[in-house]
Structure 1
Amino acid sequence: MKYTYIKLIVFALWLSSISIVHAQQNNLSLTGTASASSSQEGFNPEKAIDGKTDPSSSWKSDSEDEFSWLMVRLPGATEILRIDLTLAASSVILPEFKLQIMHNGTWQNVQEVKGNDQKEISLELTKPVLSDRIRFFATTNKELAITELAIYGQEYVDSTAMDVKKILVNQSGYNLNRPKRFSAPSLAADADFNVVDQSTGQVVFKGKLTNHVGDFSDFNPLSLDDYAIVVAEEESFPFRIGVNWMERVSYRNMVDFMIGSRHYLGTTDAIRSLSWAWRDGDFFNWAQQSLVSLYLSNPAAFERMEQTIHYVPNDSFSEEYEGAWGALEPYAANTPDIVQLIHWDADVKISHKLEHEMQKAELAYFLYAWPYLKQWLPQQNFDVVYAYLQQTWEKETVEEYSTTKYDLSPSHNLLALKTKLGTTKGELPPGHSVIPNLIMFEAAKSKGDPEAQKYFDAAFNQLDWMIKNLDWNDPMTTKGQRMSEHITMRAFAFFFSEYPEKSPSGLKSKVADWAKVAISRSNNYWDFRKFSEDEWTPPSWNETGNVLGLPAALFSAMSVLEDQEIKHSLEILAWSHFDNSFGRNPTGRHFSFRGPAEIEGVELGWYSFHKGGIGLLDEVKFVFDGSPKSFHYPNHPEVGDLGWTEGWVQFNTAFNTSMGYMANYYTSITMEQQSDELIIKLKASLNFDPTKKEPVNLLLSNSNGQDIWVELVEESPYSDVYIGKFKITKGSVESGAKSLAVKSGDELTVKYGYGFMEKVAKLTVEN
């Protein structure tokens, strides 16, 4: 069982192991808000929680409301002990009704009442429950009139929760020349702040809070010193500011998590349910596209990474593992870890003959990346995957071995129009078939398939439907898709990037509308995009993956839009959500329990980690274990370790995708000729250590298709710009002992990144 903030034993939480601050029981409904299934004019839901017993101050349901309910939402997590219900004199007596709390996104019964013959009912709960909302529910086709729904208990406080810093920052550090912000929710809203160098004690930057938020984006020191924010007597955790800092502390960790979470071959060889390539990965883990996006966005960073794994033959395992992998031939011995992981995901899918639409769609990314993988992988890999997708792409149904209880797909034919939205589980995000169909369009064209156009048409029709039908004001089209939300906006960005002249009408304006809704829901002192105007997070869900995956959606939108003010606001949100996962949140904690041991600079990790579970992530590095729940916001650190904690591969793949799209957004390349010198500049996330030289090699090609490798080096120790200068002499470009033939009028080309993540510079050579 995953992702609920109410830990239930027979739908109730016995609080014997947690110390609660006890206080006199009060009617907590008076502090809450009410909503209902229906109401009559003059008898709105709020009148049932106003403390008045006058029948005129009642909630009345519509007489035709067959399923009547009244829900009270409390300000925060509450220990509920007793509920009093008073029906108005005009109301029918209810022999049966239920009291419910939100559990895993659905309402579940706390207490069922049968045989009632009273209008004044007091229910003492046999065991207290923890919740921030409770619902009265009755099945009747008669008018209901409730004078008061009173809830008695006390605010929940976890006595084990540590004091939280008054100034919340990204505990690890910030990237040079990127937005750098912090929150101080309990301090004066407009207080002065200082950035203090911890090695010297000197104030190196001054600013002023705006609505409890400090911005020191203009402070870009060229140093490895630790810094802290100081407001009056309060001080933040220390942090660093470095070139590509987030990449420095995350890249190796991201790969290590995926290595450790592999099914069969990771940190355990246990065979698990809901698992194919990844333990507890289910059919909607998005691992393939996250790994492909990471690699294509910044290939040199992953190709230079130390290789730590190697191919493991299936026949080296016992019979129970037979056929679990091995349908794709092995890769070369020197294959980078990330490419091995891409191969692993595809190999397991093909070996198991998985037919779910999401699993087939994931395999399309393997085909897309093939031109950049084939230096390590045998041609058989591409041929087998392409043939399998040709055979199964339009298959409507799916065999039981390819799916799970979470499957909501009406059809597994990826050419079909997808109009159904998934739940907050994240299993069916809008637009999931767009990019895969465009990939298949290109793959089919390259193979001379006369029916290739059908894939493009399916992608076009799907995006056109989304433009015309998705309502961004409905949170189920955005944050309600949880860790899968990025799938939707990435579909818009991919279509616009690859087929700008063939995109459906209204694409850019639809993206702009999405951006405006995101910005409007983020006007708070965390720069945190809320679920809706009233809800901070999806009710009752562990939404860790949405925080981690939102930057991918934001950077995608930024790649489409032209309005600089909107793009700047989205950029702030992208970095604020990275910061949120690194401690700039109401709990003051990094999302990973072992963050202090595994992530440079992190001081305080998540409260706990989940032991066991389907994923068995106990020994895996870089697990995002938990995140603040709705009752932690806007600023209730005293709630502490309340709510479900469990890492999930889906959370990490969302982060992978965000890191890939972030790298791509900031990458650029230029080439110019100054007299007899060719100057190439690459801006990319490659300089992770200012004390070391980390050169990068790029392929420079001429109009005849000839090419040579050229080396670029950091422009300076703290720069993310790489530069190379090469002589043009006697009809050639010289790079060390190598040369490339050129003549006046020839076009030179240099690239970085691959596929839809590729950045290109071209230059016409002059005399």
Structure 2
Amino acid sequence: MFIKGMKNRRRFTLGFWVCGMLTLCGTYAVNAQNNLSFSARATSSSALENNGANLAIDNSPESYWSSQSEDENAWLVLRFPGATEVVKIEINFAPKAIPNDAFHLQYLLNGNWRTFHKVTNNKDQKVEVELKKPQLIDRVRLLATDGQMMQVSEVLLLGQKYADASGLENKPVLVNQSGYNLNRSKRFTAPDVNDHTPFAVVNVKTGKEEFTGKVMREKGDFSNFNPLSEDEFLIKIKELESFPFRIGPNWIERVTYRNMVDFMLGARHYVGTVDDIRRISFAWRDGDFFNWSMQSLVAMYLSNPEAYERMERKGRYVSNDSFPDNYKGLWGKLEPFAAETPDIVQLIHWDADVKISQQLDHEMQKAELAHFLYAWPYLKQWLPQQNFDIVYQYVKDNWEKETVSDHSLSQYNLSKEHNLLSLKTQLGTTKGEMPPGFSVIPNLMLYEVALREGDATAEKFFSAAYRQLDWMIKNLDWSDPMTTKGQRMSEHMTMRAFAYFYQQFPDRAPKGIPEKVKEWAQLMLDRSDNLWDFRKYSAEEWTPPGWNETGNILGFPAAVFAANGILEDKALIKDLEMLAWSHFENAFGRNPTGRQFSYKGPEEVEGVDLGWYSRHRGGIGLLDEVQFVFDGSPKSFHYPNFPEVGDLGWTEGWVQFNTAFNLSMAYMANYYTAIALEKTAEGKYQVALTAPINFDYKTIEKASLTISNKAGDIIVVELGDEQALAEKLTGEIEFTGDAILCENQRLPFGKNDSLTLSYGYGFFQRSLVISAADFN
């Protein structure tokens, strides 16, 4: 059944799962059944001394595993090195033991054990289970259901070897198929290639080797290769090659920004690509109460406003006046936005409108509205004042409300009460519905809004955020996966809370933030020391067992960039930065399947060659036809490198996956944004902005940068890129001794004055402060 590969990695090919259904597709049998148990690792709920779980798979009928007598739910789990197809299971109870009367055989899906076979009224020492359909698993659990101790001498799992052709379509060298950003980390994975084997980055057009290096630990680094070219490249290692890719300024932003907005437009509930009323859906189809859409949209806009304001307007206001009666009141409480409002602002308005119109009062739905209120100074040029007034009043009336309306709930609600000033000490499950610290940023934002509005009670919001973060510093155990990757697509919420408090309120933040974040950072690196530079769930598990973790990979860079804003160790920062990029690479093909996470990736994302195997048709969200859906990602049984597994495990897009990516892109934009001022001649200065603006390498891109003095007077300098592949946009200003001149604008600037050059808004504003002395 197993073929031993290089570096002791076991490989095998088999059938695959489609959308969680236990079916075989495109497979063929090639050999007889084999006992697979010898390749497994056994664990148990309990064990007597000298009767450990491993004795149930040691091929000796005399030895046996025994649970403890008080263990009323005894279980034995066999974990395989990859996915395994099982057709028959044989259970041999210990010779002198009383066999269990009832027990279940189970597999793991979405974090839950699912029973695929039940045995009742058993009296036999040997039980043979012939499965009607082959069972595809990477672990199986034998669970006693009669309340008795369990004593098993041997468990045999028999299976056949199958080949899934779809699992072998990738390349032997795995890269980001679309492309890499200029002057950023760039890596690839070459499974089973020996250390010190030379590799080359080859120009596809000319065939010329333009960069060389050596493979180490099955991966290569070509971060120092930064060609100013629009050519395609590929990695070549002897006869092995990768898919072609591009390298350019802001490449990942170029191929995703418009797609990100289009997904959010299409995934809207009622008015997106479909107008059906869907269950477990509010503003977004299959969005639930923990989709983080509002904060992701606000973060996107604040981090890089020029990029979103210049986009083509595809959205429009849709009134529900022409809809059937059951649509009345689902949205429309907020007055419509102005004509020519950017799509990103339309989406922010939509989210707030649905929440207010439906009076959604789950604590996480209320918390999202704080982001709308915080961003109001930057939104109000397009939105009526009524929008702010009604949302602010709703938030003030409901923020401390402990109860929740039934219509705001779903089956995933775990909140014990809904007062957002309360201390939140429970951890959510791998569903991602209750990440640690989700209330910190909303409370701090509402504190700033209350101060802005002259509310005398503002301090209570700050105090709540302080108590929450202080508790997190003292109580979160990073070694527990449920505080990190176990939160799946919501993990970023925790580290972002640390960063927001530390950066926005440095003099009032709880003690211990840098130390706590450094502990997190080191653990992330420790768990990523592998051929994919992939942060594992734990020392033993690659991914959350049984889950489609797509959003976790997409959201992890947001946590990294947030942490790097706190850390001071330059080496640690650089290593973490590489991890952020390795996870973008993972999502775009540098993973064991060799596939980008979107089924329609080849037609929707520039440069993608191989999209995800399949997509989930229908589902709660009806998202399969929406632009830029992240459908699936490698599961635990694909790692460390089993491409032969193919399309096995659950596949389905989810709004929560895309919003996690939205936040990573927002935090990355802010992380790399920089402003510089350089003297070019007497009284002449060049202003330079580094930000993800240049997407079209064939046109001159434009952006605006604000300059203000101490008095609050403002001028705007227009910037443009100097060349097609420029990372910086530049403009000119003049200093006359008492003023700054820019085109027809004049900004008073005395000898005791200072200038602030800024880009971005709110907590994502990047600024450069210049004193008068700096001009002399």
Place the TM-score, normalised by the shorter chain, in its bin. over 0.9
Q: Are residue 257 (structure 1) and residue 263 (structure 2) matched?
A: yes
Per the TM alignment, residue 539 of structure 1 is displaced from its structure 2 partner at its CA by: 0.9
Per the TM alignment, residue 18 of structure 1 is displaced from its structure 2 partner at its CA by: 3.8
Q: Are residue 690 (structure 1) and residue 700 (structure 2) matched?
A: no
> In the TM superposition, what whole-angstrom CA distance separates every residue of 1:586-625 from its partner, at most 9, and x where no partner exists?
1111111111111111111111111111111132111111
Q: Which residue of 2 aligns with 1:78?
A: 84
> In the TM superposition, what whole-angstrom CA distance separates every residue of 1:685-723 from its partner, at most 9, and x where no partner exists?
111123211121122222222222211222443222222
1:438-457 pair list within 5 angstroms: 438-457=444-463
1:640-659 pair list within 5 angstroms: 640-659=646-665
Going from structure 1 to structure 2, the CA distance change for 1:14 and 1:658 (only over 3 Å counts) comes to closer
Residue 578 of structure 2: which of 572, 575, 579 is its match? 572
Q: Are residue 210 (structure 1) and residue 219 (structure 2) matched?
A: no
Q: Percent identity?
A: 57
Q: Which residue of 2 aligns with 1:498?
A: 504
Taking the aligned partners of 2:512 and 2:96, their CA distance within structure 1 comes to 54
Q: Which residue of 2 aligns with 1:53?
A: 61
1:414-429 pair list within 5 angstroms: 414-429=420-435
Q: Which residue of 2 aligns with 1:762?
A: 769
Residue 243 of structure 1: which of 249, 270, 281 is its match? 249
> In the TM superposition, what whole-angstrom CA distance separates every residue of 1:34-68 from its partner, at most 9, and x where no partner exists?
100011222111111111111xx211111221211
Q: Which residue of 1 aligns with 2:10?
A: none
Residue 563 of structure 1: which of 525, 549, 569 is its match? 569
- Count of residue pairs brought into register by the alignment: 758
1:597-608 pair list within 5 angstroms: 597-608=603-614
Contact kept, 8 Å, 1:671 with 1:762, in 2: the verdict is no
Q: Which residue of 2 aligns with 1:541?
A: 547
1:216-295 pair list within 5 angstroms: 216-295=222-301
1:344-743 pair list within 5 angstroms: 344-671=350-677, 675-729=682-736, 731-743=738-750
> In the TM superposition, what whole-angstrom CA distance separates every residue of 1:549-605 from its partner, at most 9, and x where no partner exists?
000011111111011111111111100110111111111111111111111111111
Per the TM alignment, residue 675 of structure 1 is displaced from its structure 2 partner at its CA by: 4.1
SS at structure 1 position matched to 2:420? coil
Per the TM alignment, residue 196 of structure 1 is displaced from its structure 2 partner at its CA by: 0.8
Structure 1 regions of 5+ residues with no counterpart?
A: none
Q: Which residue of 2 aligns with 1:304?
A: 310
Q: Name the stretch that deviates more: 186-195 or 463-472.
A: 186-195
Per the TM alignment, residue 141 of structure 1 is displaced from its structure 2 partner at its CA by: 5.8
Contact kept, 8 Å, 1:189 with 1:212, in 2: the verdict is yes
Contact kept, 8 Å, 1:92 with 1:143, in 2: the verdict is no
Q: Which residue of 2 aligns with 1:13?
A: 22
Taking the aligned partners of 2:630 and 2:84, their CA distance within structure 1 comes to 26
Per the TM alignment, residue 21 of structure 1 is displaced from its structure 2 partner at its CA by: 3.2
Contact kept, 8 Å, 1:170 with 1:583, in 2: the verdict is yes
Per the TM alignment, residue 283 of structure 1 is displaced from its structure 2 partner at its CA by: 0.8
Q: Name the stretch that deviates more: 651-660 or 93-102.
A: 93-102
Q: Name the stretch that deviates more: 674-683 or 25-34.
A: 674-683
Per the TM alignment, residue 450 of structure 1 is displaced from its structure 2 partner at its CA by: 2.3
Q: Which residue of 2 aligns with 1:94?
A: 100
SS at structure 1 position matched to 2:556? helix
> In the TM superposition, what whole-angstrom CA distance separates every residue of 1:323-362 from its partner, at most 9, and x where no partner exists?
1111111111011110110111111110010001110111
TM-score, normalised to structure 1, is 0.96
> In the TM superposition, what whole-angstrom CA distance separates every residue of 1:51-90 from its partner, at most 9, and x where no partner exists?
1111xx2111112212111100112211211111111134
1:14-163 pair list within 5 angstroms: 14-15=23-24, 17-54=25-62, 57-139=63-145, 143-163=149-169
Taking the aligned partners of 1:348 and 1:548, their CA distance within structure 2 comes to 26
Q: Which residue of 1 aligns with 2:4?
A: none
Q: Are residue 333 (structure 1) and residue 332 (structure 2) matched?
A: no
Contact kept, 8 Å, 1:63 with 1:141, in 2: the verdict is no
Taking the aligned partners of 1:506 and 1:515, their CA distance within structure 2 comes to 14
TM-score, normalised to structure 2, is 0.95
Letter in 1 for 2:606: E
Taking the aligned partners of 1:238 and 1:147, their CA distance within structure 2 comes to 53
Q: Which residue of 1 aligns with 2:12?
A: none
> In the TM superposition, what whole-angstrom CA distance separates every residue of 1:207-254 from its partner, at most 9, and x where no partner exists?
000111110000000010111110001111111100000011110110
Contact kept, 8 Å, 1:423 with 1:476, in 2: the verdict is yes
Taking the aligned partners of 1:329 and 1:142, their CA distance within structure 2 comes to 64
Structure 2 regions of 5+ residues with no counterpart?
A: 1-15
Letter in 2 for 1:381: N
Going from structure 1 to structure 2, the CA distance change for 1:377 and 1:577 (only over 3 Å counts) comes to same
Taking the aligned partners of 1:509 and 1:290, their CA distance within structure 2 comes to 27
Letter in 2 for 1:188: N
Contact kept, 8 Å, 1:99 with 1:109, in 2: the verdict is yes
Taking the aligned partners of 2:678 and 2:269, their CA distance within structure 1 comes to 49
Contact kept, 8 Å, 1:676 with 1:727, in 2: the verdict is yes
Contact kept, 8 Å, 2:73 with 2:143, in 1: the verdict is yes
Contact kept, 8 Å, 1:92 with 1:142, in 2: the verdict is no
Taking the aligned partners of 2:172 and 2:19, their CA distance within structure 1 comes to 32
Taking the aligned partners of 1:7 and 1:540, their CA distance within structure 2 comes to 14
Going from structure 1 to structure 2, the CA distance change for 1:726 and 1:160 (only over 3 Å counts) comes to closer
SS at structure 2 position matched to 1:134? strand
Taking the aligned partners of 1:612 and 1:749, their CA distance within structure 2 comes to 51
Contact kept, 8 Å, 1:156 with 1:639, in 2: the verdict is no
Contact kept, 8 Å, 1:260 with 1:267, in 2: the verdict is yes
Q: Which residue of 2 aligns with 1:192?
A: 198
Per the TM alignment, residue 418 of structure 1 is displaced from its structure 2 partner at its CA by: 0.9
Letter in 1 for 2:542: W
Q: Which residue of 1 aligns with 2:3?
A: none
Contact kept, 8 Å, 2:35 with 2:156, in 1: the verdict is yes
> In the TM superposition, what whole-angstrom CA distance separates every residue of 1:485-507 from its partner, at most 9, and x where no partner exists?
10111111111111112121211
Per the TM alignment, residue 672 of structure 1 is displaced from its structure 2 partner at its CA by: 5.3
SS at structure 1 position matched to 2:735? strand
Letter in 1 for 2:370: A
Contact kept, 8 Å, 1:626 with 1:644, in 2: the verdict is yes
Letter in 2 for 1:423: T
Going from structure 1 to structure 2, the CA distance change for 1:180 and 1:160 (only over 3 Å counts) comes to closer
SS at structure 2 position matched to 1:580? helix
Taking the aligned partners of 1:40 and 1:452, their CA distance within structure 2 comes to 58
Going from structure 1 to structure 2, the CA distance change for 1:20 and 1:541 (only over 3 Å counts) comes to farther
Taking the aligned partners of 1:290 and 1:14, their CA distance within structure 2 comes to 37
Taking the aligned partners of 2:314 and 2:324, their CA distance within structure 1 comes to 24
Taking the aligned partners of 1:294 and 1:435, their CA distance within structure 2 comes to 16
